[in-house]
């Protein structure tokens, strides 16, 4: 697919502006190198082919427009940036210059064509009910975030799909929703605290079952909603923060408790919704990608049992209906590490005094 890239090259910090002669020299050097390039190796070893360029040099740097052929937007942008970095490194007189913004710029018609997908399907922007420019902006934002997911390789989302950007988008969605869920948990804690005080009730017994409009706590298993008090909410915030921070480091450390598994579960579900509803990724592709991801991310899957509808009507005395013993548990016990986890790295705040 053909993409038009606009990139900014800037002078080193503190450098004086270029005079007319220096501008001509910089333009000549950049043009010479750009004319030489045949192919560039981008992310995942995928080659992109630049076959035309425009260049404008000013006293503060240069703006480069590249026309490239690449299999996806992310490959085009990352490959073009790699190319410009290499040119600057190999050109002694420009070695201190910096690559600034480097992104795809296309017309609305080109965007529509790029995002339509299969000919027999309606355009993805129509499917999600958003303007084409909003879908494209969302996808570009998630692609930029994808490099922060260092705990997993792209293969953790399965093989490439018909949308070459989808695995990058999935990685970016996890990073994005980790930030959003953390903020929403903070708001839930504030709501629990404020409502308990305003109604002159005992804080220790005011729970998510007494509140309306909570974000994250109301997405946890409904059967235990009366257990989600202020203490639980604070512990779950710390637990989720620990799990989400592991996404940005390698190697991945799987969830060490039911609470950690639930935190990751909520993250995955929110990432799925973001990809389908706002980034126009095919729902079947999203389901397939995260099925593979979950096989890499979890060590235990006991959290799934908590969402079974049958558990809501099960007899607490029927061990066959509740083989994991969840009906007899208090939700606060979810913070206890799994028995087979050696030396779990628990945050001190979630460890009870009597543990």
Q: Can you tell me whether residue 9 is helix, strand or coil?
A: strand
Query: Is the pTM for the entire model greater than 0.75?
Result: no
- Lowest average pLDDT, out of 107-111, 168-172, 190-194, 270-274, goes to 107-111
pLDDT confidence tier of residue 118, bands split at 50, 70 and 90: very low
> Distance between CA 285 and CA 167 in Å, rounded?
9
Dihedral pair phi/psi, residue 64, rounded to 5°: -115, 130
The whole-number pLDDT of residue 120 equals 45
Q: Which tokens hold the place of 36?
A: 């030489």
The whole-number pLDDT of residue 354 equals 41
Domains delineated in the chain = 2-105 (3.30.70.3190), 146-350 (no CATH)
pLDDT confidence tier of residue 349, bands split at 50, 70 and 90: confident
- 51 Cβ contact list (under 8 Å, min separation 6): 67, 68, 69
> Distance between CA 170 and CA 146 in Å, rounded?
8
Mean pLDDT of 44-70: 83
Higher per-residue pLDDT: 116 or 332 = 332
Burial (CB count within 10 angstroms: exposed 0-12, middle 13-18, buried 19+), residue 143: buried
Q: How much of the chain exceeds pLDDT 90, in percent?
A: 43
> Distance between CA 219 and CA 237 in Å, rounded?
14
- 78 Cβ contact list (under 8 Å, min separation 6): 42, 43
Higher per-residue pLDDT: 346 or 128 = 346
pLDDT confidence tier of residue 119, bands split at 50, 70 and 90: very low
pLDDT confidence tier of residue 46, bands split at 50, 70 and 90: low
The whole-number pLDDT of residue 348 equals 86
Q: What is the DSSP string of 295-309?
A: HHH-S--HHHHTT-G
pLDDT at 315 over 90: no
Q: Which tokens hold the place of 275?
A: 């990809």
How high does pLDDT run on average in the chain? 83
Burial (CB count within 10 angstroms: exposed 0-12, middle 13-18, buried 19+), residue 247: buried
Per-residue buried b or exposed e for 278-297, using 16+ beta carbons within 10 Å of the residue's own CB: bbbbbeebbebbbebbeeeb
Between the alpha carbon of residue 70 and those of residues 4, 39, 54, 220, 239, the distances in Å are 10, 10, 18, 42, 41
């Amino acid at each position: 697919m053909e993409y038009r890239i606009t990139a900014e090259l800037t002078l080193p910090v503190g450098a004086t502006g270029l005079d007319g002669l220096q501008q001509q020299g910089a333009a000549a050097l950049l043009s010479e190198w750009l004319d030489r390039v045949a192919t560039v190796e981008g992310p995942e070893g995928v080659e992109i082919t630049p076959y035309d360029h425009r260049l404008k040099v000013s006293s503060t740097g240069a703006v480069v427009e590249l026309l490239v052929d690449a299999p996806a937007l992310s490959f085009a942008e990352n490959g073009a940036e790699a190319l410009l970095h290499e040119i600057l490194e190999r050109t002694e007189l420009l070695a201190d210059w910096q690559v600034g913004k480097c992104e795809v710029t296309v017309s609305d018609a080109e965007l529509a064509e790029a995002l339509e997908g299969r000919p027999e399907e309606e355009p993805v922007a129509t499917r999600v009910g958003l303007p084409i420019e909003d879908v494209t902006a969302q996808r570009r934002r998630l692609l930029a975030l994808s490099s922060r997911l260092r705990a997993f390789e792209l293969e953790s989302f399965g093989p490439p799909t018909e949308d070459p950007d989808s695995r990058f988008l999935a990685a970016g969605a996890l990073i994005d929703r980790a930030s959003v869920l953390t903020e929403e948990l903070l708001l839930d804690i504030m709501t629990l605290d404020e409502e308990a005080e305003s109604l002159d009730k005992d804080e220790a017994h005011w729970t998510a079952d007494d509140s309306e409009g909570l974000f994250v706590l109301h997405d946890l298993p409904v059967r235990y909603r009366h257990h989600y008090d202020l203490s639980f909410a604070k512990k779950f915030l710390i637990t989720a923060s620990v799990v989400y921070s592991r996404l940005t480091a390698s190697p991945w450390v799987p969830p060490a408790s039911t609470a950690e598994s639930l935190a990751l579960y909520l993250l995955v579900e929110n990432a799925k919704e973001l990809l389908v509803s706002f980034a126009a990724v095919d729902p079947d592709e999203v389901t397939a990608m995260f099925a593979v991801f979950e096989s890499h991310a979890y060590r235990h899957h006991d959290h799934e049992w908590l969402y079974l509808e049958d558990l809501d009507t099960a007899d607490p005395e029927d061990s066959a209906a509740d083989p994991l013993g969840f009906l007899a548990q208090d939700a606060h016990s979810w913070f206890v590490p799994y028995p087979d986890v050696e030396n779990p790295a628990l945050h001190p705040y979630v460890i009870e005094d009597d543990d």
